[in-house]
Amino acid sequence: MRRADRLFQVVQLIRGRRLTTAEWLAARLEVSLRTVYRDVADLQQQGVPIDGEAGVGYRMRAGFDLPPLMFTTGQAKALVACVRLAQPRLDTTLARDADDALGKILAVLPAAARAAAESLAVYAPVIASDDANRERLRVLREATEARRFVQLDYESLQGAASQRRVRPLGVFYWDAVWTLAGWCELRQDFRSFRVDRIRTLQTLPEAFRDESGKTLADLLRIVRAR
């Protein structure tokens, strides 16, 4: 890899993370720690606003941006594949936005690269559309982003009905089923709910804040420890 390309990658990797260690950069770029330290120092001298230091981590100061980039043919193919796989499974709003974004990317590619990307032989089968389920996904996604409680009537696989007030933390796709992961106020514990088994759903006006032991990070730590 040319050094100019590596320096560009260093900038992109640091921009994409809250805190990036030199060890992580070295492993990702397959170079030595000394090379990472030298590259970051050179970028700082060139005026790239990277804060941090060796042994602690690096972050990019807010407001830094790069000019629009040109995707390679391989990168464009990867984007086409991702959108094709995701669209039938996303809520309607996200699916439409993904298609619009892909159209904008393909529009600025050279003709040969665009043709190669559009002719990619990777497809996702068209599954039966469940508009009610996709609408629930949209409501849950927006409630999670707004950090608002949701009230739901839920029916378990055994047919037991219950009403839950939940802090929505994220929705997860498991090949054929979407689940909502959240903190259940009734059980005072983390719970997962199959989205297709939610009978009624309402976003409440009350917002919630992060509380120790009730966040997505806490849930993921528990899952990893099992």
- CATH fold for the domain made of 131-225: SH3 type barrels. (2.30.30)
**CATH label, 3-60, candidates 1.10.10.10, 3.40.190.10, 3.40.50.720, 1.10.275.10:** 1.10.10.10
* Most confidently predicted of 44-48, 94-98, 177-181: 177-181
Q: What is the mean pLDDT of residues 8-35?
A: 89
* Most confidently predicted of 13-22, 48-57, 136-145: 136-145
Where in the chain do CATH 1.10.10.10 domains reside? 3-60
The pLDDT, as a whole number, for residue 67 is 56
| Spatial separation of the C-alpha atoms in residues 195 and 29, rounded to whole Å | 39
Model pTM?
A: 0.68
> What tokens were used for 195?
């989205």
